[in-house]
Amino acid sequence: MAAEAERPRILYGDAGPEPPYPLRMEGTVISGFGRGSKELGIPTANLPVDEAAAPWIATAKSGVYFGYASLALPDTHPDHAQHHRRHRGNPRAPASAPPAPLPPSSNDTAAESPSSEPEPPSRWQIYPMVMSIGYNPFYKNSVRSAEVHVLHKFAADFYDAPMRLLILGFVREERDYPSLDALVVDINVDCEVARQSLARPAWTPRQGVVDGPGGEFDGSWLVREE
């Protein structure tokens, strides 16, 4: 426990990501080992490790990384509907913001100008995330995997949803653990490191995140439309 308590909660300087970051990765969320929610209480989304699409991953150090994930959730997903209701009047509204008011009636001449129409929210939603790349020595995996824990509580699974990752920094190397409890403790520290490291203006995308306002970092790739 002492080692976890001594780990710094903020990594890198306040000026923003440094080379070789940011690194990009994208794909469709696939089913993984089924351990995240059941054994760890920490649900993960898995992406295929595709060296052709992300050449950097072939030489990437196995371990834990942090950054942002964007998801294009289907219209039927409850988080998609909630996001669009919340952002109807302000596409960058934080999660704590109340729903936008109903549009004015046709008799309200004060809102007739076309310039007052808000731009529609992107179908891509940005979330902070922490991820592991490697073999997970505790479970002795034989296949290298990329497991993403999005720092948001979702109302439903999102298998087959398109996901983009913008990886901004490295947290720690992968390691083995004497017990499941020790693994969970370390993962929770990883999550806190990601939250605090990203909660700075130069580390927050201008496009905003679902659980907070926008910042100074250019995250346009995360929400660009094809």
In a domain, 190, yes or no: yes
Residue 111 has a pLDDT of 43
**Domain for residue 109, yes or no?**
no
Tell whether 97 is covered by a domain. Answer: no
What is the domain range of residue 169?
A: 2-92+117-223
The structural domain count of the chain equals 1
Contact present, 193 and 10 (Cβ < 8 Å)? yes
86 CB neighbour count, 10 Å cutoff = 20
What pLDDT, on a 0 to 100 scale, did the predictor assign at position 84?
A: 52
- Is 62 among the domain residues? yes
**pLDDT for the residue numbered 226:** 72
- Look at residue 165 in the predicted model and tell me its pLDDT: 96
Would you say residue 6 lies in a domain? yes
CATH code at 143? Answer: 2.40.30.30
For residue range 38-85, list pLDDT tens digits in order: 566 788 888 888 888 889 998 999 999 999 999 988 888 888 756 555
Residues in the chain predicted with pLDDT less than 70, given as ranges, are 1-5, 32-40, 81-121
Is 106 contained in some domain? no
3-state secondary structure 161-221: CEEEEEEEEEEEECCCCCCHHHHHHHHHHHHHHHHHHHCCHHHCECCCECCECCCCECCHH
Is-catalytic flag, 147? Answer: yes
Question: In sequence order, what E strands does 20-115 have?
Answer: 23-28, 45-47, 63-72
Dihedral, CA of residue 52, residue 122, residue 208 and residue 32, to nearest 10:
-40
Round to whole Å and give the CA distance between 167 and 10.
Answer: 16
In-domain check, residue 108: no
Determine which one of 39, 119, 147, 174 is catalytic.
147
Has residue 195 been placed in a domain?
yes
Q: What's residue 99's pLDDT?
A: 44
Bridge partners for 66 per DSSP: 130, 169
Coil/strand/helix, residue 115: helix
Nearest to 120 by CA among 225, 199, 49, 34: 225
Q: Which of 170, 159, 145 is nearest to 49 (CA)?
A: 145
> Taking the CB of residue 84, how many other CB atoms lie within 10 A of it?
16
- Identify the pLDDT of residue 110: 41
142/224 Cα distance (integer angstroms): 35
